[in-house]
Amino acid sequence: MEKNIEFKKSLGQNFIFDRNLLTAIAKDGGLGKDDVVLEIGAGAGTLTDVLADIAKEVIAFEIDTSLKPYLDKVQEKHDNLKIIYQDFMKADITTFIKSKAKVIANIPYYITTPIVFKLVDHIDMFDGILILVQKEVAIRFASPAKCKDYGITSVILQSIFDVDIPRIVKKECFTPAPKVDSALCRLIPHNRYNISDFSDFKDFVHLAFSMRRKTLVNNLKTKYDKDFLTNKLNELGLDERVRPEDVTVENYIKLFNFLK
């Protein structure tokens, strides 16, 4: 099949044909027979087919209608599959998904961050998200404080998800092979923290990391009173010279709730 496909680099088309790997990915996503799955970027339908073999229902988005002949073959096999030929970023997912769903997808890398933040905006719809992304991106998402990869997305994602990396997928597993290895990133919603306003919290984290080489107080003082900030940091046991990357997710939430 892969010999006949004209892969479009501009759409992030790096496909996986190894069924053992695809089955392992579905397992990493904890997929079961009662699950509704959202797949973003069905491609030639190889992962779609595995998902539809296991799950109750699969809703798969694909922007490239030239892949329809391949996806039609997968569609013929499964009554529980709905393929939507639309740009996922423009779609209103609430019209397609009516109950809690799992996301399992080998997503197009050129829009990783917009996809993740679209999913974050609909967090109540999902009980788990498993996405294949570039390895360095997965490491950033899962990174703990005090590590060089810890930053804005680490704090925002970990404030609402438990994030881990169940599997590295070598670049040779894709057709065509991309330049770098990939990793599965698993995001499981948790309700560990009470964040008074999530949209404001995201802005707060952006401001906190606006200048990475500056101290946290210097970044935040453009909006908040410096003495007040210093006092609150001290209450959290943090030094006023602390850097943005040295503050844990929990302390970011505490600080934000103090300042609200």
- Site residues for ligand SAM per CB under 6 A: 11-16, 40-43, 46-47, 61-64, 87-89, 106, 108, 111
Starting at the edge strand found earlier in the chain, the sheet holding 126-134 runs 81-84, 57-61, 36-40, 101-106, 126-134, 182-189, 161-169
Cα-Cα end-to-end distance for the chain: 56
**Residue 195 Cβ vs ligand SAM, minimum distance, rounded to whole Å:** 29
Q: Is 158 left (phi over 0), alpha (psi -120 to 50) or beta?
A: alpha
Question: Would you say 53 or 240 has its CB closer to ligand SAM?
Answer: 53
Question: Would you say 21 or 259 has its CB closer to ligand SAM?
Answer: 21
Question: Would you say 35 or 49 has its CB closer to ligand SAM?
Answer: 49
When CB distances to ligand SAM are compared, the closest residue is 41
Question: Would you say 106 or 219 has its CB closer to ligand SAM?
Answer: 106
**Are 83 and 106 within 8 A, CB to CB?**
no
Three-class SS of residue 115? helix
**Residue 84 Cβ vs ligand SAM, minimum distance, rounded to whole Å:** 9
**Residue 155 Cβ vs ligand SAM, minimum distance, rounded to whole Å:** 26
**Residue 43 Cβ vs ligand SAM, minimum distance, rounded to whole Å:** 2
Q: Which has the closest alpha carbon to 256: 208, 192, 191, 213?
A: 208
State the Cα–Cα distance between residues 122 and 118, nearest whole angstrom.
7
**Residue 65 Cβ vs ligand SAM, minimum distance, rounded to whole Å:** 10
CA distances 156 to 144, 153, 208, 242, Å, are 12, 5, 12, 19
Taking the CA atoms of the chain, what radius of gyration do you get in angstroms? 20
Question: Would you say 36 or 74 has its CB closer to ligand SAM?
Answer: 74
Question: Would you say 173 or 220 has its CB closer to ligand SAM?
Answer: 173
**Residue 112 Cβ vs ligand SAM, minimum distance, rounded to whole Å:** 10
